[in-house]
Amino acid sequence: MGILIYAPGSRGDIAPFTGLGTRLREAGYEVAVATYEAFGDLVRDAGLEFRGIPGDPRGIGATAEGQRWQEGGGGPRGTLLMMKAFRSHLTELSEGIIEVGARGADLVLANSMAVFTAYHVAEALRVPLFATPLQPWMPTADFPPDMLVSRSIGAWGNQTVGRISLLMGEQLMRKGVLAGRKRLGLPKSGLGALTTSVIRRELPVINGYSPVVVPKPSDWTAEENGVGFWWPVSRPDWQPSTELADFLAAGPPPVYIGFGSREFSDRDRLNDLVANAVKLAGVRAVVQTGWAGLDVTSDDVLTIGEAPHEWLFPRMAAVVHHCGAGTTGAGLRAGVPAVGVPAITDQPFWAKQLERIGASPGWVPFGELSAERLAELIRRAPEHTERTRELSELVRAEDGAGEVVRRVTRLLG
């Protein structure tokens, strides 16, 4: 039976689904992953079918609007900047999701970016759909969606903002959805169909994160609780460069610094800030260039390109990162404390959770980042090593992908 996974977004949004897709394939299902062409090799290297969706996530982030969004922080303003940066792409994305879905599937899984359109694909195909977000996505009375409101506004307010967040997602995709429904032979649909389905518990949701990090909200069922992180496909044959191996062997464990798939306008300023923070903290550092274009080199700092987090992070004393869901999970899995430098969307939420559970000395929004503040947090990070190792054991004991396989098998047989 064929399973279609929709996973548009940045690399961190896609990599977990390669691991999930591999587990589903090993269980006997044919698995296709639909995402951007830029990540086609990531899918193919996992042994999964790749279905291309139009769009260039890096190109969007590199625009002036995209950089203003990534540097502008979270909250309502950040959401408005995101909507402005992505407005032309979202119609193209919806059309691509429809086109890919028209090729058929027996079951559809969709991340939080794709589900607003995938909902209509599943209706047209008359097949089940699982929403598979990597962050809390359903409305809850316990907390609001962080990308709209940064702190609790009471049970009713939290629920209301959660529903507004879903409606906003539907509105952003609406133009492409209406055209897609016509193409799929479906009648015109009013705004709110997916939101209503979620509120009525008609759309099953499988949350791909650890309940160690986000405990079950009081108004969610056990089935709606986080099932555990979905780890990217392992690369056991990966070997570090001689330069990286020699640097690691030449002194105490360094601190990792990287901002993943984030892009910022003033790279020279960011490089200088990172270099000064490392010097003030008195540590060695491995800096991953990423989409931010970091490039800091000295006797105590080495800049590298791609390296699997599962290999690199356990060799670090601490990890400084943007707090994307995937990197957050990787740091916990490695058992090393984190310093969060979040910028957009769900990143502030994960930064807060890491501090709350004792895996981080604290965090600083990217827009407020200074060398002095970053150095202070780096110096304090080792105080959280023992606690992070305890959390690592709990996270590693979970089998999030296995739970998805069990639910899929229960549904499809």
Model pLDDT for residues 76-87, shown as the tens digit of each residue = 555 555 556 566
Residues forming a β-bridge with 50: 33
Per-position DSSP letters for 75-93, written without gaps between them: HHHHHHHHHHHHHHHHHHH
* Shared-domain flag, residues 404 and 379: no
Q: pLDDT tens digits, residue range 350-405?
A: 999 999 999 999 999 988 999 999 999 999 999 999 999 999 999 999 999 999 99
Give dist(CA 67, CA 69) in Å, integer.
5
Phi/psi class of residue 320: alpha, beta or left (left: φ > 0; alpha: ψ in -120 to 50)?
beta
Class of residue 318 by CB neighbours under 10 A (exposed 0-12, middle 13-18, buried 19+)? buried
* 265 or 365: which leads in pLDDT: 365
* Shared-domain flag, residues 406 and 385: no
Give dist(CA 172, CA 187) in Å, integer.
19
Q: Which of 321, 340, 364 is nearest to 12 (CA)?
A: 321
* 210 or 270: which leads in pLDDT: 210
Does residue 74 have a pLDDT over 80? Answer: no
Give dist(CA 126, CA 124) in Å, integer.
5
**Do residues 323 and 354 make contact, with C-beta atoms less than 8 angstroms apart?**
yes
* pLDDT of amino acid 217: 96
Host domain of residue 363 = 242-396
Give dist(CA 79, CA 180) in Å, integer.
25
Residue 93 lies in a domain: yes
* Shared-domain flag, residues 209 and 161: yes
Residue 234 lies in a domain: no
* Shared-domain flag, residues 193 and 247: no
Beta-strand runs (E) in 7-61:
30-36, 49-53
* pLDDT of amino acid 278: 97
DSSP 52: E
* pLDDT of amino acid 21: 98
Determine the average pLDDT of the residues in 259-273.
78
* 69 or 336: which leads in pLDDT: 336
Helices 385-397 and 325-334, axial angle in degrees (round to 10): 110
Lowest mean pLDDT among 19-28, 41-50, 163-172: 163-172
Q: Which two tokens stand for residue 68?
A: 């203003």
Residue 179 lies in a domain: yes
DSSP 290: T
* Shared-domain flag, residues 219 and 254: no
DSSP 38: G
- Name the pLDDT band for 73 (thresholds 50, 70, 90): low
- Name the pLDDT band for 287 (thresholds 50, 70, 90): very high
- Name the pLDDT band for 334 (thresholds 50, 70, 90): very high
* Shared-domain flag, residues 165 and 266: no
Specify the CATH number for the domain of residue 306. 3.40.50.2000
Does residue 61 have a pLDDT over 70? Answer: no
Lowest mean pLDDT among 113-127, 143-157, 215-229: 143-157
Maximum distance among all Cα pairs of the chain, rounded to whole angstroms: 66
Confidence (pTM): 0.91
Q: Which two tokens stand for residue 157?
A: 């307010």
Q: Which two tokens stand for residue 366?
A: 């990217």
* Shared-domain flag, residues 384 and 407: no
* pLDDT of amino acid 268: 85
* Shared-domain flag, residues 402 and 316: no
Residue 235 lies in a domain: no
* Shared-domain flag, residues 295 and 263: yes
Class of residue 46 by CB neighbours under 10 A (exposed 0-12, middle 13-18, buried 19+)? buried
* Shared-domain flag, residues 40 and 118: yes
* pLDDT of amino acid 48: 97
Q: Which of 313, 264, 310, 316 is nearest to 291 (CA)?
A: 264
- Name the pLDDT band for 141 (thresholds 50, 70, 90): very high
Q: pLDDT tens digits, residue range 289-311?
A: 987 788 898 889 999 998 999 99
Does residue 189 have a pLDDT over 90? Answer: no
Residue 236 lies in a domain: no
* Shared-domain flag, residues 141 and 190: yes
How many domains, the chain? Answer: 2
Residue 146 lies in a domain: yes
Residue 88 lies in a domain: yes
Beta-strand runs (E) in 345-390:
none
Q: Which of 82, 71, 76, 64 is nearest to 365 (CA)?
A: 71
Determine the average pLDDT of the residues in 235-263.
90
**Do residues 24 and 127 make contact, with C-beta atoms less than 8 angstroms apart?**
no
> For strand 30-36 and strand 49-53, is the pairing parallel, antiparallel, or unpaired?
parallel
**Do residues 351 and 319 make contact, with C-beta atoms less than 8 angstroms apart?**
no
Residue 177 lies in a domain: yes
Determine the average pLDDT of the residues in 204-209.
97
* Shared-domain flag, residues 314 and 361: yes
- Residue 67: CB partners within 8 Å, gap ≥ 6? 61, 263, 264, 265
Calculate ∠ Cα 152-154-159, nearest 5°: 90
Residue 73 dihedral angles phi and psi, to the nearest 5°: 85, 180
- Name the pLDDT band for 263 (thresholds 50, 70, 90): low
